[in-house]
């Protein structure tokens, strides 16, 4: 297992529906942790790089409804 942490910036703050979608991402095998920084409008995602890659993680965040920049 190779843990990697990557940060993504987002535009609009996530609403309740987006946060429910984010909760579903936590169930994806290989996602270890998600940490939001509301002041910087960023989300840090720790994941297993042997299972996922940055493009897949970004896709998961977009599908949840998060407005990635």
pLDDT in tens, 41-67: 999 999 999 999 999 999 999 999 999
> Do the domain assignments include residue 69?
no
CA distances from 48 to 43, 56, 57 (A): 16, 12, 10
How many domains does the chain fold into?
1
> Do the domain assignments include residue 10?
yes
CA distance 15 to 56: 22
Q: What is this structure's pTM?
A: 0.91
CATH at 17? 3.30.70.100
Using DSSP's 3-state secondary structure scheme, residue 59 falls into: helix
pLDDT in tens, 2-47: 999 999 999 999 999 999 999 999 999 999 999 999 999 999 999 9
CA distance 58 to 39: 20
Residue indicated by tokens 């609403």: 15
């Amino acid at each position: 297992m190779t843990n990697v942490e990557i940060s993504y910036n987002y535009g609009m703050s996530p609403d309740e529906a987006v946060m429910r979608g984010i909760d579903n991402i936590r169930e994806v095998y290989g996602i270890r942790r998600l940490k939001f920084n509301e002041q910087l409008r960023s989300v840090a995602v720790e994941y297993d790089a042997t299972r996922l890659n940055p493009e897949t993680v970004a896709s998961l965040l977009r599908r949840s409804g998060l407005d990635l920049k």
